Structures are given as structure tokens and as C-alpha cells.
Amino acid sequence: MLPAQKNTAVPSRALLAVANAIPSVLWSGLALAPIGIYCYQFMARPWLYGFLAISLLAYAVPTSWFGYWQLSRRPAMYRKLGVALVNRVTQNGDLVRRLIRRRYPAYRHVASRAALAALVRTTYHQERFHLVLFLFFGLTSLHAVAHEQVGWCALLLLTNVAYNVYPMWLQQYLRVRVTPKAP
């Protein structure tokens, strides 16, 4: 009788891309639809282009600055705010990894030191992306309140927190979890 062999197969890059695209497209659609509708219906194009230009300046923020506005150096603070729950339903989150591991039990998102370094770089990139959108959503919310559209302002603020603040905290949380503790 032969010993049981482990399933060491790994998923293809295409499968991983599709599995991770599903939550990204879902959350992006839910968050970007309201701001897209607002901008199309109520914002003059010069304001839109100006807000976009101002927001895109956040791409010039050096990575070293991200430590200044990091919420905490302890994962517990992020868990209290529900960031770990957000991690369940995002790309490369708990749900996606669990579904992939059903078919590919050996799969690990971070399987080496190089993958860990890539993960940290990716967190900075994603935090910067959500910072750009945070600024754009914020400026658009100010535009809505300046035009006495309080309902739109509230909706845009809510989507800003859900789509930008929590994802920025998630990137910080991921870095805190993988950063070695100082003795």
C-alpha cells in the first residue's frame, strides 16, 4: 500500500487573478457608482478635473510619510475597529484564500521572504491608491455640502469611510501583522 500523497498543486495566476478580481469589482462598483452618479449629474467639469488633479497629487507622497498617519502599531487596535472583518471579504482576504485552499490545500499567499516583501510593497501601493480616492471623495463631499445636497454628502462620506478609510487601515493592519516586533 502506498502512503497518501499530499496535493502540492498550486493555482494558476489566472485563477488567482479572477478570484481576487471578484471582491475588487464588487466593492468598487458599490462605492464608485454613487460618486460617479453625483459627479455626472451635479458637478461642473472644471470642478471634477480640478478635484481629480488635486487628489492625484497624493501619488507623490513619499512612502516614508505613511508611518506618520498610521493608526496604531498594535493589531489589536485595528481588530477593535473591525478591520480584521474587512480583511475577510477583500482581495487576497480570508474568504478568497479559503475558497482557493479547498482545491489547492498547499496554496499560501505569502510563501517566502520575497513574497512577504512584495506584500509590504503592495500595501503601500494600495494605501496610496485609497488615499487618492479618499481625497477625491472628500472634495466631492465638500462640493455636495456647498451646494446644499446634504443627502449626497452623507452618502459620499459613508462610501468614503467604507471604500477608502477601512482599506487604508487594512493595509496598515497587514503591515503591522508582518513586521517583526522590536525587543
Does 5 score more than 70 pLDDT?
Answer: no
Does 3 score more than 60 pLDDT?
Answer: no
Contacts of 71 (CB under 8 A, 6+ apart): 77, 78, 81, 169, 172
Q: What is the pLDDT of residue 106?
A: 87
Q: Residue 113 — very low, low, confident or very high, per pLDDT cuts 50/70/90? A: confident
pLDDT in tens, 146-162: 999 999 999 999 999 99
Q: Residue 179 — very low, low, confident or very high, per pLDDT cuts 50/70/90? A: confident
Q: Give the residue from 108, 109, 116, 113 showing the smallest Cα distance to 8.
A: 108
Q: What is the pLDDT of residue 108?
A: 85
Query: Which helix (H) or strand (E) is 102 found in, with range?
Result: helix 94-103
Cβ–Cβ < 8 Å for 82, 75: no
Q: What is residue 104's DSSP assignment?
A: -
pLDDT in tens, 58-93: 999 999 999 999 999 999 999 999 999 999 999 999
